[in-house]
Every structure is written in C-alpha cells, then in structure tokens.
Structure 1
Amino acid sequence: MAQSGTETCHPAAQARPDPWLFAHEGFDPALEGRRETLFAVGNGYFVTRGAAAEARADDLHYPGTYLAGAYNRLTTLIDGRPIENEDLVNLPNWLPLTFRIDEGEWFDLRRVEILGYQLTLDLRRGLYLRTLRVRDALGRETSLAERRFVHMDAKHLAGQHVTITSENWSGRLTVRAMLDGDVANTGVPRYKAFASRNLRVCDAAAIAPSSMLLQVETTQSKLRLAQAARIEVSVRGLDVAVDKRPIKEAARVGYDVILDVTPGVSTEIEKIIALYTSRDRAIADPETAARTAIVRAEGFDALLQTHERAWGNLWERTDLDLLDVAGDEADETHLAVRLHLFHLLQTASSHSMELDAGIPARGWHGEGYRGHIFWDELFIFPLLSLHLPILARALLLYRYRRLDEARWAARQAGFRGAMYPWQSGSDGREETDVMYFNPRSGNWIKDDTHLQRHVGAAVAYNVWQYYQATGDAEFLYSFGAELMFEIARFWASIAQWNEARGRYDIRGIIGPDEFHDGYPDRDAPGLDNNAYTNVMAAWCVTRALDLFELLPKERCQELCRDLRIEQEELVHWEHVSCKLYLPFHHDGILSQFEGYEALQEFDWNAYRHKYPNIMRLDLILEAENDTPNRYKLSKQADVLMLFYVFSAEELAELFERLGYAFDPGTIPRTIDYYLRRSSHGSTLSAIVHAWVLARSCRQRSWSLFTEALQSDISDVQGGTTREGIHLGAMAGTIDLLQRCFTGLELRGEELHFHPALPDELRRLAFRLRYRQHSLSVDITQDALTLSSDPSGAEPISIAVGDRHVVLRPGDRTSLTLVRPS
C-alpha cells in the first residue's frame, strides 16, 4: 500500500485481496521503525509495538510497551538549566524470545540470508503474524512463525506463540524467553539529550517450573508494575526431552529452553503474560494479581478465541460495512480505513473507561510528543460520540477531572475561568516543552506553542457534540455545564475591550498554524485576534449562555452560586459573544490574524525547487536565519478550521451574532487563498482541506482524503511514524467518510444528512449510535437508506435537505438523492 513492493495484501487471498489483512513483504531496515508502529497490538489498557520478538532497542529496532496514562517526570540539566519533562513511560519488554543453534550466535536477521519474510496484521482478529525463512553462514535453513495478541477482553493478558522449524539441520536448539526491565525512553532521537530512565527494577524472579516475574516502579510517579509470564514448550508430533534453565540478571529474567532437533522438526513456544499496576482496581497488589493471572489463564489458542470474539463485537459496532470505491479492485481504501479504525480502537476501548487517561495525539504506540494529549481530540471525539458514546463520556471526564488545574493556570496567567494546557499529561498542568531542537540548524529554539489557547474551545466543542449525539442531559447537568461555564468565563476574561474599534480583542495567542508564533517586529510572543480562536470563543460563550435554557433552573442557580457567577458577569458574556473582533483582508477574505495581510508573500516555487520536502518550513527557515513570521504561509489549516468545525449555516449565525456580514460566496475564495499558502506540515492538514473542498471540488477533496490515508502508512513526514501513529489524522479519515461526505450534522434535536459523495465513492454503509438508536446508514450516489434496530428508544427526527422524516425503532426509510452539480 505505502510504496510499490512493500505493502501487499496477504497471498492467501486469491481472486480479490482481503480488506482485513494489512501485510508487508520483505525485510527493509529503513522501514522497520515505521512497521513497528503500524503493526502494534493493544487493547486500550496497554499497547505493544510490532517489534520482532528477538529485537532489543538499537539503531534498527525499538520494542516498546505503553500503559494508557502511565507517565513519569524527569529533570535534565541543559546548559546548566534544569528542564523538567513528563513522558509516557516505556515499560518492560515482554516480547524477548530468540534462539540459537548449538553454541552459535543468537538469532539476528542482519547476520543471516533472508529467504522469505512477511508481516501481517489481521485486523478482523487483532492478530500480529510474522513468518520468515533464513539461511545462516553454515547453510542451515530455519523457518519461524510468530503469532501475537494483546487481549481485547481480558485487558491484563497478552499472548505470543512462536514456531521454529529446522528445515535441513540437526543439532541443539536453545530458545531464550525473557522479561526485560532494562529499558529506557529512547524512541525519539531529538529527545536524546534528556534523561530517559523512568524505571527502577524492584524484583526479577524465575518461578518454577517455567514462569517468571518482573516488578518495576516509576522513579517519580511511583507507579508499581508487575509482569508475570508463563512459557510452555512442545515439539510437534514428538516426545522430546526439554531442559529448562532459569536466567536471572539485574533487570532481566527468563529461561533458556534446550532440546535436540532434527530436520523437519517444529518446536512450539507459547508465552502468556499478565500485566498489573498499583492503580488497578479490585486487586490486592500487582504481584499477586499477575502471578494469579498466569496460573489461571488458558492456553494461547483458547485465549485467542475469546480475543477474536471481543474484536468481532467491536467491528460490529464500528466498521464501515461497505466502502465501494471505483477503480479500487484491491480494496486498498477499505483496508487503509480499517487500519486507522483498528489503531483508534487499540488506543481507546472499553478498558479506557476505568482509566483516568485522555486521547493522546500519537496513540499509546510510541514516545512522540511524549504521549501527551493535545487538541487532536477535536478530530477524534465526533467519531467516538457516534459509535461508542459511553466511551466518549468516560474520556471527556479526563478533562473534567483536570478542571481545577485549568482554573489555577488561568489565575496564574491573570484570567478567570479555566485555561486548558496545549499539552496535557498526568495532572493537567502545561507540559509543552520549554525548548525544541532543530536538527537542521543544531539550535535549541524557544517553544511558545503553549499560547494555543484554542484547546479549551476544543474541549467545550467535544462536550457539546457529545450532548448533541446522545441527548445525555445528565452528563451536561453533572459535568459538562460546569466545564463549559468555566471555559466561557476564560474567553470573556481574556477578551479586552478596544475603545477605538468598539470591539473586544484577544491578544498574545497562537492559532492552529504553529508556524506563526509572533510578529516579526515585536519581541513578545503571540498574535492578536486569530480569527479561528475569536470565532470559537464567541461560540463557546454563546453555547454556555444556551445552557440556561437547557438545564433545570435549580441546577443553573446551583452552578452560579458555586462558581460565583453574577448577573453582571452574564451580561458581560453576552456582550463579548456579540462584539469580538474579526480581522478581514481588504477584499473581504477573513484574515488569519490581525496584520496577516501585511506580511510578505512567500516564494513557494523557489523553496520547492530547493528542498525535496517543505512540510516543516519553520525548521528550514530557522536554519536559514529566517522565520515564518515574516510570510503569508501556514503549517496547516487555520482560518479554514472554521469550515471544518461549522457548517455554512452555523457560521452565518455566528457572524450575524457578531455583527458581521457573511457572504457564502467568499467561502471558495477563502479556501483557495489559504490552500495555496499551506505547506501541509501537519498530518491534520489534508483532513481539513479535504473536508472544506468536499462541496466545491469533490475530485480534489477525494485526492486529499486518499493522501490523508497514507499519512502513516507512507510516513509522509519522513520518519515521524516510528514515534507513534497520528491518531487525529487516522480518526479524521473515517470522519470524512461518515460525516463529511454524507453531510451528517448534529443540529438541535434533528439528525441532518446532506450527502455529496465524491464520484469515486459509489456506495458507503456503516452503523452509528444516535439518541439511543442503533442506526444503519446506506448511501449511494442516488439514495439514502436509514434503518433503526428495534428498541425502546423515543422516535428521532431526520432531515435530508428540506425533507423531514420521523424514524421510530424498527423503521426503515429510503430517500432519493439529487446529486449536487
């Protein structure tokens, strides 16, 4: 899929490739880091990268296992200055399983001739498979087949099954299976200057006859973790003597299993592991729980059956049942979409509901962005709210539980309300790096991206979208309203009255385009009146005021008393929501921020000719002693985010409230203006631009959608996928299919559809949850068919253009569509 000759469908699929099997043929060291991320397996509780079983962390491989929300804080002296960072912790590696023949070297792919090699990720079953054949320097040929899962039902368990076959040799086979606690956070090269040892090994013990235990603790957060493993060895069809010898080192423990083999003999090694921590519920302690679990756990194949059943249930609720793309006979599009959905479900599952963890921008798949939570959840929650609403509810509570920290941050900055951090980790404080490293110039650069205050608007938007999708008034009553009130209070507080223009300004912030973090002639960081931020602020305050009509009077009074919201403050909120300033170009195009129009035009042709990849123009320009702050350019959609978040009708209402004329005719001009000035330096860029072009230029929209599908599969940023997936982009591609191309909107008490399928998309079918209904949606170029499973839910109202239909549980309706010109 990614590059010719590297990504293929499984050879077992003959006439038509199987859109459930993501496969890679051949071993290419240059692609190994990317593969380890893309072939990761997990269950929302923990995720394990798809590293080879025999691999240790080096310049080629990076095994990693990450527990959702497991962070640790370390301090490093950089140029004599203490720099503190909180990182998602790389946990002990449970995968180590290797072999050697006689007294030879331990198996290393780099030291043998590779006769065959294939990696396959069976998405339907949640199963990692690796097969290989090799020939060593003495001509001995060996084949190896590995299966691996992280159990989707029993969240503490994982399984590994390896078959080693001696094809043409006899001799002594030694298999080494271990738990390895000698690990560090070294998966991101640009972080190499920082301290990386997050774990202290507490205990490593071999437990007779063939089990092992490893206990560690994080150095600062004091999270205690126990891994226990059980190994079983058999020789297919034979009764062979097996010698098991325990191995115990300071940070590693395991067994050497020794046996004699002859040509054609297959040795099977099964390894079942259990992982528990001190934050788990209903356990006495992690060690006891882990040891008990591996005693009680069934064998690999029995566990695989229950694991597959759990995945089957998940796919039933979330899969795109039909994705018929013209000219895509290999179902490459459907396979890529399923891969994206697979990784989303591994990051956030039902197991996430018991955890106090958010949705990290890079999944739990690696150490990119230190495992932090950003605004990327804006691209993820709409999908969760329409498929797994109870999970969306639980994940929104991550933000609610950090409301006090956001209040404190606002007070420290001189504001009221709640100011959420750009990067969040364990406790909700600001985790954005103070400095970042530019590998092009070798310079450390001050990082001001914490000024992206629009992250709070994303939190409020996700709360509102969840309520619109579910009608969950109790969540709004107990949690959501307080969040939205405090976010609205922040926006009303940061807005400053400008007497000269008779409007409110929001100054000293950064918008979604991180390339612009200040003015070229001003020392202080930040920009004034970023259009996206100001419109979102007006929306937040307006929705907060709407809550007084939605919530019971007693709850509104209670919240006003508890939060000390007086009538005078509400009057101020109303005034701010109607009088925020929006900057415009002289020709009526909305300016990205005040002063943007006065910046220099950028010589795109010269830089495209000079550099093979200009996605990160900020790094290129800094290395040239220049800055993006001088130019009309952007990393990603900024103004255009407004057309992603809001429909034209919603924007018209907001502009009218703000006292600005809104001409829908300016939308295509605005899109064209900013699209021509974007370097697409973020994987989210193609998502937003595909969305905003879906009505005006469907062919270009589809092209950008297919580009977005390749963000991680092809590693379009040139090496960042090895550090973790880009979860916002993955969820965004699915959302493009299910909300954008279908015109699905949550507006008031009605579910709206306004389909405009690209010509390439002939048919689309999927399921979703809306207001307690389980709906099946089937859309072609000519018709929309909706059906609701029988249930006790109340009837819902569906709008398709100017047609309105009441849908009751058990109903099915089909409406003819008129294709847009």
Structure 2
Amino acid sequence: MTDRSTHSLAFDHFELNDEQRREALFTLANGVISWRACSPEACAVPRPQGHYPGLYRAGWYDDAARQVNGTITHTAALVNLPDPFGLTFSLDDQPWFELRDDTLHTYRQQVDMQRGVLTRRLSFVLAGTPVELVETRFVSLANAQLAVLRWELHAHKALTGLRVRATLDNSRGNFLIERDRDYEGRRLRSHRWEHLPDGRAGVVATLEDTSRKVAVAVQTCAPCQWQGQVADDRLVQDGVVEWPEQGPLVLEKRVIVQVDDEFYGLSSSMAALPNATYVELLAAHEQAWKDTWEYGRIRVADPAVDHPLQFAGWHIQQTVSPLSMRHDLGFPARGWQEGYFGQVFWDELFAFPLFATHRPELASSLLDYRHTRLPAARRRAARLGYGGAMFPWRSAHDGEEQTQPFQYYPLSGHWVPDPTHLQRHIGSAVAYDAWTLYLATGDEQQLAGKIGDLIIEVARYWASAARYDESRQRYVIEGVIGPDEYHNAYPHAEQPGLDNNAYTNLMAVWTLCRALDVLQRLPTALREDLVERLALRPDEASHWEHVSRNMFLPFTADGVLDQFEGFDRLQPAPDEWKREDNPRLDWMLEARGDHCDHYQVSKQADTLMLFYLLSQDQLQALFDRLRYPFDGDIARRTMDYHLGHVFHESSLSKTVCAGALAHTDSDASWMYYQHCLRTDLDAKSDSGVREGVHLAAMSGALDVMQRHYLGVCPAVEGLRVFPAPPPGLGDVCLAVQFHGQWVDVTRIDDVITVHLRALSSQPITLIHALGTERLEPGSSVNVSG
C-alpha cells in the first residue's frame, strides 16, 4: 500500500487474497447507494473466486424467515442487489479477460477522497499487443440513484474483432460472511427482465414480500450492437466493438437503482438513465464532494495522522450525506454493507459530536431515524412492563430488536445463544446524541420536539427499570449487559444478564438529569406543550430526581469503580491469553468448553466509556449527586484497573482508551490513538474489514482529536475549549459550528487559538482554563493547552 498524499490511498500491486478487504476499503457510496470495489471483469463471471460483488441500497432490508439452529428467525439484513457492473473482453476467441498475477505488467488502484473517485490502471499484453486499461468509477453525490463505471482501453494499434461482454446478475444473493450463511442466502426473485440492442437493460426483483421491489437499470455504452440472453437469473450481453480511429476505446456503464415507492415500472427506471455527458456527470459529482469537504474538515500537519483521519472522514461522509436526509436512515456499524447485516447499533454515539458540530442538519436527520421508531420503542418497553421507550440494541427498518438469536462460533462449529439484546444502554446513547445536538445548536424548538421526546422517554424507561433495593436504600438495574460483550451472564447462571453494570447505571443517571434539564431549560409555553404531548404526570420529575440521586454503583474493596456487581470475584485471566497469535478469546474458550463469563476479561473498554464520553467535571458532578467518593486518584486507579483487564478485541476499544486517558496519561493515550488510527488500514486480508469498515472507530478517531485533544465541547454555558494535546501531536486545525456560527480552532507551534469568523451574526461565549469571555465576530483568543 502506498500513500502519495493524505487525501488518497493506493495499492500498487494486485493480490487476490487481499481483494475482499480492498473492496471494502474502497467501497464508494453517496449515503443512499453503496458499491463494493469489486473488479468488473470478476463480476462478469458467475462465481468470481476471491472477489465479492456487492451493491446495496441504504436501509433496504429483508426480514424473510430463516431457520437457524432449529429456530425460525426474522433477522433483518441489508440486501445485496442485482449486480450490473460485470464487464470484460476477449480478442481472437481467447478466454475472457480476468486479473491474474502472471498476466499483469503493472497495476495501481487508487481512491481520490477529495473527489470521491476510484481509479485502476493496469497494463498487460493482449494477443501480442500491449494494452493499458484505465478504469474510473464513482457513486454520484449529485444523484442519489446513480453510479458510473468507465473503462478506457489504450493500445498502439487497433484491436479488430474485440468482443465485449456485459452482465446484469441477480443470481448472487448475500454470501459474504461464512458464519452468517444460515441467516443470509438468496433474498431476491427476478420478476421482469428487459434488454435492448443499444445496451440498455434492466431487472425488477422482489423480496419474499412481493410488494417490496427493486429495479436496477443499466446502460452499457460501447460502439457495438448488443445481443442479450437471460439464463439462470443472469443477463449476458455480447457485442463486437469497432475500435476508434483515434483515442482509446471507451466502455461505460451507467446504473440507476430504485426501490419500492421510487419505482414506477422498469421502463421508467430505464428512462431515468441520464443523457448528460460523462464529463457533466463527473463534474456534478466532484462539485458535491467539494462542497461536502468544506464543512469543518479536521487537518493535522503530520501526514501519518492526517491521512487516516481523512480516510475516516471520507467514509463517514459517504455513509451519511445530504442525500441521506431524504430517506429514513440510521448510522450502520459497518457502512451499508453485509457486516452486522447492515444494521444500526450505538455507533452513531461516536459520530454524533462530529455531525452535530460540522453538519447539524445531518445529525438532525439521524435523530429522525430514532424519533420515527419511538412508538416502537414505547411498545417494546410496555411489553416488558416498563414505561417510556426501550430502544433495540440492533435496529433496522421497523424499530424492533434485530439481534440474531444465535452466533456461530467457527472454532467449535457450535451455535451459541446471543443475549446481547440486553444491552439496554443503547437508550442512553440515543439520549446522549439528542443532547449533543441541542448543545451544538441551542435549538429550543428541537429541544421541545424530538430531542426532548427522546431524552424524556428514555429517562422514563430508566426510572421504571430501576428497582429500589431496601437493603441498600438505592436503586439497582438488573439483568442487563454492558458494552463489554464478553460478559453476558454470571458463571453457571441459567439466565443471561448482569446486575448494576457501572456504565449502564451511571449513564441512566446522566439521562435522568438531562430529562430534568429539558424541562428546566424550555420556556414556559414550549415546556407546557411538551408536558401535554407526552402526558407527563406531576410526580414523574420528582421520581427522576430521586432515582438520579440514589442509584447504586459497584465498587471494589479498595474503592475502584467496578465493571459490574461481582466482576471482581471472577477468576483472573492467564497472561498467555493476550498473545497476539491467539484466536478471538470467546471463540477459543468456548471451543475448550469454557466461557469468558468466568474470568476478569473484557472484549473492549466498558467502564472506561464513562471517561471517554464525560469530562472529569461531569463525572465529579454525577458522583457528588450520588454521594459516592470520587476524585482524580479514584479516577486514575479505576482506569488502571480496567486497562489491566481489557483485551481490545473490539475495533472501538483502543479509540475509547485514547479518549479516556487524554487528560490523565498523554503518553498512553497517544499510543492507543496511533493504533486506533489504522484499525482498518493495517488489518489483515482475512480480517473483518472484508465485511465493511469500522465506522465507529473511524468516527471515534476524529472525535478524540476534536473533543479530547483540542478539547472542543459545546456546553449549556457556551463553547468549552480545554485542550489536552499529547506529545507529538503537532499542528492541527479544525472548524466547528456552534449555535450556527463557524469557529476555527488551531494549534500552531503549541499555541491554541480560537477564532470566531467575521461573518458570524452574533458573538459566542467561550469557556477555557483562563476564564469565560465573550468572543465577538472576527476576534480570536489564545487558550492554554
């Protein structure tokens, strides 16, 4: 892998064993369509070895019944759509062209993140003639339904009799992830095909629910007449091209994807194929990317840091874009791909501070996804006898829980029950996101609307789920699972769930406090409207107050905040388990007839999440409210204790540690940060990156830079800037939106400057280590750090 600039990424050799990881790394998307970077010539064969064609429509799930381990399940999964990108050629009746190490002279694949364009350049010999193929592809950020593939074939002489083959394939299905095969498989049934001699073609396919339709229309532009045939759910179009007298031979595929209510018939979909020139389509796409990058980009002088941050920013912005706002979409953990079935977890928690301060309209759209599912979350809580809203750990289209009932453990070949739907802390993540948007925008209308709705309904859930324990004179939360998924039950327990997970309990308290803040901060008329709409009873706020002051937290004998009640009584883990050549710990132990539940081990940072999300002052205020001792020494010992148990087998773990330690151990924070920056870029060929990039880790890396290292945090009182730059960070610049005003924050030669742009319409309140001051438009102030 080579990097010539911080806004591009390139591979300068072909490696079949690494192709699926590169396909995920170079996936192109526009917030609506997602296209894996599978080679077109590989797509042109029925079952390409080592490649995986993938085309997805954001949020288009199928929950048809599957039998897994003897149980019927309706787990929703993002659908792999018909593949329209197959393209290859042959000369003199030789085999159809395909990539092979022994035939390539040169090879280079490169993404330009500034432009959202992926290119390949490869050279080879065809029937004794040197040929160069230049491929360009993009998923239009100017047209939500459009993707374009372009080939230019350069040769020193005309290649007469060159045959070209284009395919549109609906035979593939969802088969990327071996351990999920029983949940996946074929999901689409071809309903209608059409193909014309001018290269236009299309297919309409349905899910098992035949009211759910997708149309994929494609036009393959080439100097030939096409002859097509459909067999085995696959359209093959062949033609003999005329080599141009001057310039390269150009082959181009334009693709339109439409689903459900966007679809008015296949002829309509084919009519939507654009007539504009390639240059015009590309220019509109590039302009949209130029506009997107203008929104508060974070730049770091050190290329080793800046490059992975730009890569992260590119993936995040193509997963959630202005085009996404027209659709009902969340923030998928692995992007719009098959990893985790394309489902939505809590990963937006790591991206929301960025969206809220860079693109608040996109943050608001993501919050709409949750608010639209609020009625379903209320029904889920009511079914279990709780009040308020209980959001699912894994979400898709209908707001119901999508966690699969079983996980396949490949070392033993066993199906193991998956109880992680008990991660009720997802509700606090939704509330955190909502409050983050309010702090960044100061928008009282949204606070009185969806922001207030979400925070209050999650608070209602916590107030009803917390049980008052007379023996402790405190509230307890029982039978849940924390962020660390290696502990799902107590040793030898018959039922899953743990009691008093520290992160869950303290974030429940935080949420209850924010619900009280919502009522306190709203003007009277807006508050009364909110109270009436949510049918708030007069006694509810006082109950929230009581619960939020009397929640139980687990501590070890020496005063350290424990992960959950009883964690300190588990067996210590042998040091050899942390060897890098070991398989994943839960798979390894289960194959031995053992279980992580028995040991003091953590897959990822759990309690440390508190130090990642909340500042020392915020944590101190919560502990004071609960009347528990807490100071810098307890915080440091708590972090050391949990760092000793974490195995970092989650992509998020080192990101969380980098943020949690930023203000207390700069060296350790920087070490973790440098690791988390390259989570996907340095992954092995057979790693989970093949299933989609880790968006939360990418978002978290940007969040740590902005919110921890530069210390930029919106607050009720104003914009807080309390930097904690680690040694070796160097110069940084970023821009954030605060209450609709653009603020530039720079670190140059160890001096951190905050500047309110001159075009701002009003001053802001700036809070930093030297005090609080009013920052007027066009003025700057240096802050310590």
Q: CA deviation at 1:244?
A: 3.3
Tell me the distance in 2 between the aligned counterparts of 1:182 and 1:229: 17
Once structures 1 and 2 are overlaid, which stretch shifts more, 688-697 or 387-396? 688-697
Q: What residue number does 1:55 align with?
A: 42
Partner residue in 2 for 1:269: 251
In structure 2, the CA distance between the partners of 1:141 and 1:169, relative to structure 1 (3 Å rule), is: farther
1:103-122 matched pairs, under 5 angstroms: 103-110=93-100, 112-122=102-112
1:789 to 757, 762, 768: 757
SS in 2 for 1:97: strand
Alignment partner, residue 312 of structure 1: 290
Where does residue 442 of structure 1 map in the other structure? 413
* C-alpha separation in 1, matches of 2:715 and 2:527: 23
The question of whether the paired residues in 1 share the 8 Å contact of 2:720 and 2:767 is answered with yes
Kept after mapping to 2: 8 A contact 1:72/1:88:
yes
Q: Tell me which amino acid in the other structure corresponds to 1:650.
A: Q
Deviation at 1:289, TM superposition (A): 4.3
| 2:712 corresponds to 1:744 | yes
* Counterpart secondary structure, 2:731: strand
Match for residue 317 of structure 2 among 328, 339, 345 = 345
Alignment match, 1:301:
279
Amino acid at match of 1:130: R
State the partner residue of 1:511.
Answer: 482
**C-alpha separation between the residues in 2 aligned to 1:95 and 1:748?**
50
1:243 shift after superposition: 4.2
Question: Is 1:355 matched with 2:334?
Answer: no
One-letter identity of the residue aligned with 2:280: A
Alignment of 1:728-767 (within 5 A): 728-767=696-735
Quick one: distance in 2 between partners of 1:184 and 1:725?
A: 20
What's the offset of the Cα at 1:141? 4.2
Is 1:706 aligned to residue 695 of structure 2? no
> What is the CA–CA distance in structure 2 between the aligned matches of 1:111 and 1:747, rounded to whole Å?
56
Q: CA deviation at 1:254?
A: 5.5
**Aligned counterpart in structure 1 of residue 8 of structure 2, from 21, 27, 31:** 21
Report if aligned partners of 1:71, 1:221 keep a CA contact under 8 Å in 2: no
Q: 1:166 to 1:645 in 2, by over 3 A?
A: same
Name the counterpart of 2:581: 612
Counterpart in the other structure of 1:8:
2
Measured in 1, the distance between the counterparts of 2:245 and 2:408 equals: 54
Give 1:168 deviation, angstroms.
Answer: 7.7
The aligned residue for residue 353 of structure 2 is 382
Aligned with 2:738 (options 770, 773, 796): 770
Distance 1:570 1:766 in 2: 39
Partner residue in 1 for 2:71? 81
Return closer, same or farther for 1:130/1:659 CA change in 2, 3 Å cut-off. same
1:799–1:210: structure 2 CA closer, same or farther, 3 Å change rule? same
Preserved CA contact (<8 Å) 1:160 1:300: no
SS at match of 2:433: helix
Q: Give the corresponding residue for 1:180.
A: 169
- Which digits, 9 at most, give the CA deviation of each residue in 1:712-731, with x for residues without a partner? 11226951011011110011
Paired residues of 2:449 and 2:530 also in contact (CA < 8 A): no
Matched-pair identity in %: 36
1:3 aligned partner: none
SS of the residue corresponding to residue 319 of structure 1 reads coil
Q: Distance in 2 between matches of 1:457 and 1:41?
A: 32
Give the equivalent residue in structure 1 for 2:20.
Answer: 33
How far apart, CA to CA, are the structure 2 residues paired with 1:531 and 1:585? 12
Task: Give, as a single letter, the amino acid of the residue that structure 2 aligns with 1:545.
Answer: L
1:479 maps to 450
Distance 1:640 1:746 in 2: 22
Deviation of the 1:79 alpha carbon: 4.5
Q: Deviations over 1:348-373 (max 9, x none)?
A: 00011111110010111x20110110
Which of 233, 255, 264 is the equivalent residue of 2:222?
233
Q: Do 2:38 and 2:53's aligned partners in 1 also have CA atoms closer than 8 Å?
A: yes
**2:103 and 2:157 mapped to 1: Cα distance?**
15
Residue 273 of structure 2 corresponds to residue 290 of structure 1: no
CA contact (8 A) 1:188 1:723 kept: yes
Deviates further, 464-473 or 158-167: 158-167
- The alpha carbon displacement at 1:793 in A equals 3.1
What is the CA deviation profile of residues 357-401 of structure 1, one whole-angstrom value per residue up to 9, with x for unaligned ones?
10010111x201101100111101111001100110011011011
Q: Distance in 2 between matches of 1:684 and 1:519?
A: 24
Q: CA deviation at 1:139?
A: 5.2
Identify the residue that residue 13 of structure 1 maps to in structure 2: none
1:70-469 matches, cutoff 5 A: 70-110=60-100, 112-135=102-125, 141-166=130-155, 170-220=159-209, 222-233=211-222, 242-249=224-231, 251-253=233-235, 255-259=237-241, 266-280=248-262, 285=264, 287-294=266-273, 296-320=274-298, 322-325=299-302, 331-364=303-336, 366-469=337-440
TM-score with structure 2 setting the length: 0.96
Q: Deviations over 1:178-198 (max 9, x none)?
A: 322223011111112234221
Instruction: Please say which of residues 345-354 and 787-796 is displaced more in the overlay.
Output: 787-796
Q: Structure 2 vs 1, CA of residues 568 and 442 (structure 1 numbering), >3 Å: closer, same or farther? A: same
Find the aligned partners of 1:262 and 1:309 in 2 and give their Cα distance. 31
Partner of 1:109: helix, strand, or coil? coil
Q: Does 1:814 align with 2:785?
A: no
Distance change >3 Å, CA 716–CA 571, structure 1 → 2: farther
1:756 to partner: Cα distance: 2.1
Paired with 2:775 and 2:480, the residues of 1 have a C-alpha distance of: 45
Q: Structure 1 residues 535, 636: closer, same or farther in 2, change over 3 A? A: same
Q: Which amino acid aligns with 1:345?
A: Q
3-state SS of paired residue (2:679): coil
Cα shift at 1:791: 4.0
CA distance in 1, matches of 2:26, 2:252: 20
Q: Which segment drifts farther, 261-270 or 198-207?
A: 261-270
Q: CA deviation at 1:806?
A: 1.6
User: Are the counterparts in 2 of residues 167 and 263 from structure 1 also a CA contact under 8 Å?
Assistant: no
CA apart distance, 1:582? 0.5
Q: How many angstroms does 1:233 deviate by?
A: 2.5
Given that residues 758 and 779 in structure 2 are in contact (C-alpha distance below 8 angstroms), is that contact kept between their aligned partners in structure 1?
A: no
Residue by residue, what CA displacement relative to the aligned partner does 1:272-315 show, whole Å, maximum 9, x if unpaired?
222222333xxx72535432322x43122221111111101111
Q: Which whole-Å CA distance do the structure 1 matches of 2:546 and 2:210 have between them?
A: 45
2:599 to 620, 623, 631: 631
Match of 1:598 in 2: 569
Partner residue in 1 for 2:687: 719
Partner Cα distance (1:543, 1:699) in 2? 33
User: For structure 1, which runs of at least 5 residues remain unmatched after alignment?
Assistant: 1-6, 10-16, 235-241, 326-330
AA aligned opposite 1:813: S
Cα displacement string for residues 226-285 of structure 1 (whole angstroms, at most 9, x for unaligned residues): 222223225xxxxxxx443334446333632313659997321122222222333xxx72
Question: How far is the alpha carbon of 1:223 from its aligned partner?
Answer: 2.8
In structure 2, C-alpha distance between the alignment counterparts of 1:775 and 1:561, rounded to whole Å: 37
8 Å contact kept, 1:782–1:816: no
Alpha carbons 2:196, 2:226 under 8 Å: kept = no
Matches of 1:207 and 1:465 in 2, distance apart?
52
- Name the aligned partner's letter for residue 577 of structure 1: S
Count of aligned positions: 782
1:525-674 → structure 2 map (5 Å cutoff): 525-604=496-575, 606-609=576-579, 612-613=581-582, 616-674=584-642
Unaligned 5+ residue runs, structure 2?
A: none
User: Judging changes above 3 Å, is the alpha-carbon distance between structure 1 residues 564 and 495 closer, same or farther for their aligned structure 2 residues?
Assistant: same
- Residue aligning to 1:4: none
Q: What is the distance in 2 between the residues matched to 1:618 and 1:79?
A: 19
TM-superposition CA deviations, 1:610-652 (whole Å, max 9, x none): x6045x3111111111111111110111111110111000011
Question: Using the alignment, how far apart are the partners of 1:381 and 1:441 within structure 2?
Answer: 38
TM-score of the aligned structures, taking structure 1 as reference length: 0.92
